[in-house]
Amino acid sequence: MTGSSRPSRALVLHGPEDLRLETRETPYPAAGEVQIAIRATGLCGSDLHYFYQGRNGDFVVRAPLCLGHESAGTVTALGADVTTLQAGDRVALEVGIPCRKCTLCLQDRYNLCSSMRFRSSAAVFPHLDGTLMDITNHPAMLCHKLPPTISDVQAALIEPLAVCIHAVNRSKLDISAIAQIPQRDVTALIFGAGAIGLLLACVLAASQPFTAIVVADINTKRLQIASTLPYTNITPHHLLAKQAPSSCTPEADDDYAKSIAAELAAKFTLPHGFTRVYDCTGSPSCIRAAIHASSPGAPWSSWAWAVRASPHSRSPSLRCGRSI
């Protein structure tokens, strides 16, 4: 069955702080696609970087781009060959669209597809529009049906929540190894109290035997939100604003990071460091501090990148895109 196109309003970025409401024609969904009336879209940190700076790390907006990718909505039309969904179904969108043909895709590691096209990202050109629009077409296989107990707004957070669950899985300690650690020393440190950092803290608190999960940030308003999370083992920590090194050298950067790690070790009486550490800021100083704050053999990982890399760091967007 085919149908006609439909008009849809979209918020389109034309340059830094140049966001325009436009009307576009959305075609009837192609084979394997569904048409979705978007009900909720979250604003990711990447959307804010694109809006204010016109770039996110190494990814520079080169053409008008509709932002937004943390989304949920209601199926309104089906393309040919779609059998898993029907009109009226509420869905959360998985917005990274892989090729489904390469070796990694065939191994079901499609999140690492080198031909991945991610909605609202400037990583590839031509860009693929995001979901800050009335209606959109999307592959049915990347639309996940929602139970009635999850609201549209909650469903829009499934995408960043999935990032956090992936972070925990990627850094998972052997439970038998955890059992050998004195209970008081099973700790986690998260740099950054943004959406990813706070969701990650909740995932850790709900699923792992940590005696303390420290969420560190310089932003007191974010830490106030962290203090409202419903887990007693989550502890917000206000990082003291330190004077950045005046000399831009690797040694000065490292000394600065060591001072942050020492502050945390002293505050929480952890001479050997934290047993798991996550960076959710992308800040080069926090990435270095995360390494110094880790106990020997502890896993640490970074789940964000800065708007621009520091002179002494490898491209953060390259590292994150390769899942290393």
Residues 192 and 112 in one domain: no
| pLDDT tens column, 38-88 | 999 999 989 999 999 999 988 999 999 999 999 999 999 999 999 999 999
Tell me if 219 is assigned to some domain: yes
Q: Comparing C-alpha atoms, which of 15, 11, 20 is closest to residue 51?
A: 15
Residues 84 and 168 in one domain: no
Tell me if 178 is assigned to some domain: yes
Q: Can you tell me the distance from the alpha carbon of 247 to that of 265, in angstroms, rounded to the nearest whole number? A: 26
What is the CATH number for 280? 3.40.50.720
Residues 51 and 121 in one domain: yes
Residues 146 and 203 in one domain: no
Residues 194 and 117 in one domain: no
CA quadruple 292, 310, 127, 132: dihedral sign = positive
Contact predicate 143/92, CB 8 Å: yes
| pLDDT tens column, 136-194 | 999 999 999 999 999 999 999 999 999 999 999 888 755 555 555 555 568 999 999 99
Residues 223 and 113 in one domain: no
Tell me if 189 is assigned to some domain: yes
Q: Can you tell me the distance from the alpha carbon of 249 to that of 244, in angstroms, rounded to the nearest whole number? A: 12
Residues 101 and 250 in one domain: no
| pLDDT tens column, 2-19 | 678 999 999 999 999 999
Q: Can you tell me the distance from the alpha carbon of 305 to that of 317, in angstroms, rounded to the nearest whole number? A: 6
End-to-end CA distance of the chain: 44
Which tops the pLDDT comparison, 21 or 305? 21
Distances (CA, A) of 276 to 21, 168, 259, 273: 44, 10, 19, 9
Tell me if 1 is assigned to some domain: no
What is the domain extent for residue 118?
Answer: 6-156
Model pLDDT, residue 243 = 55
- C-alpha dihedral (25, 28, 31, 32), degrees to nearest 10: 80
Which tops the pLDDT comparison, 183 or 259? 259
State which of 126, 156, 186 marks the end of a domain. 156
Domains contained in the chain, number: 2
Tell me if 61 is assigned to some domain: yes
What is the CATH number for 115? 3.90.180.10
Model pLDDT, residue 87 = 98
State which of 100, 123, 156 marks the end of a domain. 156
Q: Can you tell me the distance from the alpha carbon of 188 to that of 295, in angstroms, rounded to the nearest whole number? A: 10
User: Tokens for 28?
Assistant: 């009837």
Angle between helices 250-267 and 284-293 (to 10 degrees): 50
Q: Comparing C-alpha atoms, which of 160, 125, 119 is closest to residue 36?
A: 119
Residues 93 and 42 in one domain: yes
SS3 47: helix
Tell me if 27 is assigned to some domain: yes
State which of 156, 178, 207 marks the end of a domain. 156
Q: Comparing C-alpha atoms, which of 96, 131, 100, 102 is closest to residue 116?
A: 96
Give the other-Cβ count within 10 Å of 166's Cβ: 15
| Residue 225 pLDDT class (50, 70, 90 cuts) | very high
Residues 120 and 233 in one domain: no
Contact predicate 242/256, CB 8 Å: yes
Q: Can you tell me the distance from the alpha carbon of 229 to that of 159, in angstroms, rounded to the nearest whole number? A: 20
Model pLDDT, residue 103 = 96
Summary mean pLDDT of the chain: 88
Model pLDDT, residue 33 = 98
Residues 25 and 142 in one domain: yes
Residues 118 and 191 in one domain: no
Tell me if 72 is assigned to some domain: yes
Tell me if 11 is assigned to some domain: yes
Residues 215 and 94 in one domain: no
